[in-house]
Homo-oligomer: A and B are copies of this chain.
Amino acid sequence: MVRQGNIDNPPKTPLVPGFECSGIVEALGDNVKGFEIGDRVMAFVNYSAWAEVVCTPVEFVYKIPDDMSFSEAAAFPMNFVTAYMMLFEVANLREGMSVLVHSAGGGVGQAVAQLCSTIPNVTVFGTASSFKHEAIKDSVTHLFDRNADYVQEVKRISTDGVDIVLDCLCGENTGKGLSLLKPLGTYILYVSYTFLEYCFSNLLLFIAFQWWQVEKVNPIKLYEENKVIAGFSLLNLLFKQNRGGLIKGVMDKLLNLYNNKKIKPVVDSLWALEEVKEAMQRIHDRGNIGKLILDVEKAPTPLVSAKYILHTWCSHTA
């Protein structure tokens, strides 16, 4: 991917992956308002979240509700903000609509399923490895094996397709997803951050590159079929396009849903920093349901008395 020049500013190795974390505020930048040392917080970070101490601009930091654990908080921001913005900011999910989501057992998939359940009469079609079906069957309406012909499976149940397709697979799935849309339906291409992190951390650029292989779309065809195609990258929105203020409003809504017990992050398992390779292998083997958390307290010789991912140092400068 990097070799092919398909992304801007590719990260240079060595690098510390990770885009979100939770922990305790250890230090504040000059003039930072709204936080104090000792606050329990979760945060977005532009790389380097897989660390014991993290520094990030204050606009990317959010207080953790009292009854949310650090591991839940480390699993919350990326998945739920991504799911919420795709469903409600890009696609305008409303009562009675239908949604197709791939990797329904993953972090974003589970967040999508939970957020869909907050709207009356929403049908969720999901794909996932068959061995996950028992664990997640209550969260989606119709589950298909990830290797099944999901286009045919969906059409068998809903002949005129679905209103929203959320696609993290890309490649030939873009054409399939567009073909499944009802008139006025929305196809959204996004990326699974866990997948990208896995590729980067293992230098599996050829795998990541496959994601980038996708046919271009003719706007006239969209016009003729009354369809919408969108791309969504939370990382670009946060770190390249300066939309932190917008995300703040979304986080407020999501924390309100959490406090009302409408949504709850799904934590698959906790891992020591030294176990990152095994944790990544679990993702690669599609063994996880929900989010894997790197827990710095599980490290045998912590450099500082860290709580979960990090102590966060908040600065108001970017």
Contacts and interface: CB of A to CB of B under 8 A. Distances in A.
Interface string A282-298: 00000000000000000
Contact of A228 (B6, B223, B228): B228
Contact of A233 (B223, B229, B243): B223
Contact of A231 (B7, B225, B230): B225
Given A89-B184, A218-B214, A231 B223 contact: yes
Contacts of A190: 223
A216 B219 contact: yes
Contacts of A53: none
A210 interface: no
A128 interface: no
B226 A237 contact: yes
Given A229-B228, A237-B183, A237-B226, A174 B89 contact: no
A189 interface: yes
A212 interface: yes
Work out how many copies of this chain go into the complex: 2
Contact of A189 (B85, B92, B222): B222
Contact of A221 (B223, B231, B241): B231
A224 B8 contact: yes
A272 to B, nearest CB: 33
Contact of A223 (B189, B217, B225): B189
Nearest to A7: B224
Given A226-B237, A241-B226, A6 B220 contact: yes
A54 B39 CA distance: 71
A191 B224 CA distance: 10
Given A184-B90, A237-B184, A189 B229 contact: no
A183 B234 CA distance: 11
A219 B288 CA distance: 28
A229 B226 contact: no
Nearest to A211: B220
A217 B219 contact: yes
A229 B219 contact: yes
Contact of A214 (B7, B220, B246): B220
6 contacts: A89-B92, A183-B243, A189-B222, A216-B219, A220-B231, A223-B232
Interface of A: 6-8, 85, 89-90, 92, 170, 174, 183-184, 186, 189-191, 212, 214, 216-233, 236-237, 241, 243, 246
